[in-house]
């Protein structure tokens, strides 16, 4: 089922931003694309979220400057920095709460991956062998980009939902509350209603599926 989801995410390449886990090995092309669109810029306060719902499978990818989530972009320099990083990791590891997914949808995480030098690890949990190897390769390319002075954090989730009909809307209220440095999120969504692209803010934090 996983290839179906990834094909769905790439069904409209002009609408969706390139997903890092498949594009990192084409680093130069990726950065050229980013330079051509304002959505690809490293802008503090702004983040991107790609979402696809296909049958019982839900995939989400959040890409955000570390500043939005951590409040800093330097390597941990104190116990307080370390504690903040641990707190952010803990929040990112709870996508059901972070993305406002209702319990009635019966969603469970089948895979989640994180990338970002400041998180201290390129991966976390539920990974299959091939994905683990590929993600480690992505990490090297991603770190080269971060060496340029900007640090991004990326979180990729795949979930299985036993009752996807209960997924009425994406609700990012908790995400905005958890990370007040995030002022706007460019959302690209593929769901039962088709393809959508919009900007969500704390004042408008929901997008119907």
- pLDDT of the residue at 193: 85
Q: What is each CA distance from 13 to 6, 32, 36, 152, in whole angstroms?
A: 12, 15, 14, 22
How far apart (Å, rounded) are the C-alpha atoms in residues 206 and 169?
Answer: 6
**pLDDT string in tens for the chain (209-residue length):** 444 445 455 444 334 443 433 333 333 333 333 333 334 556 889 999 999 999 999 999 999 999 999 999 888 889 999 999 999 999 999 999 999 999 999 999 999 999 998 886 444 444 433 443 333 334 333 433 333 456 899 999 999 999 999 999 999 999 999 999 999 999 999 998 899 999 999 999 999 99
- pLDDT of the residue at 180: 96
- pLDDT of the residue at 152: 93
As a whole number of angstroms, the longest Cα–Cα distance in the chain is 47
DSSP β-bridge partners for residue 15: none
| Residue ranges per structural domain of the chain | 2-208
Q: DSSP readout, 108-175?
A: EEEEEEEE-GGGT-S--SS--HHHHHHHHHHHHHHHHHHTTT--EEEEEEEEEES-GGG--EEE-HHH
How far apart (Å, rounded) are the C-alpha atoms in residues 68 and 49?
Answer: 14
How far apart (Å, rounded) are the C-alpha atoms in residues 18 and 110?
Answer: 22
- pLDDT of the residue at 82: 93
- pLDDT of the residue at 75: 86
Q: What is each CA distance from 71 to 33, 76, 77, in whole angstroms?
A: 27, 11, 13
């Amino acid at each position: 089922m996983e290839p179906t989801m990834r094909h769905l995410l790439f069904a409209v390449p002009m609408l969706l931003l390139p997903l890092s886990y498949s594009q990192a090995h084409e680093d130069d092309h990726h950065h050229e694309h980013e330079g051509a669109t304002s959505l690809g810029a490293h802008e503090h306060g702004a983040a991107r979220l790609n979402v696809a719902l296909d049958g019982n499978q839900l995939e989400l990818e959040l890409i955000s400057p570390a500043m939005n989530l951590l409040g800093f972009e330097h390597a941990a320099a104190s116990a307080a920095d370390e504690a903040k990083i641990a707190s952010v990791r803990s929040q990112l590891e709870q996508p059901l709460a972070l993305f406002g997914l209702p319990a009635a949808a019966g969603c469970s995480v089948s895979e989640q991956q994180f990338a970002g030098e400041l998180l201290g690890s390129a991966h976390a949990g539920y990974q299959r062998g091939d994905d683990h190897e590929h993600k480690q390769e992505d990490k090297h390319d991603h770190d080269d980009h971060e060496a340029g002075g900007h640090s991004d954090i990326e979180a990729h989730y795949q979930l299985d939902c036993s009752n996807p009909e209960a997924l009425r809307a994406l609700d990012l209220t908790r995400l905005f509350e958890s990370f007040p440095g995030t002022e706007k999120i460019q959302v690209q969504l593929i769901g039962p209603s088709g393809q959508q692209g919009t900007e969500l803010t704390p004042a408008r934090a929901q997008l119907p599926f």
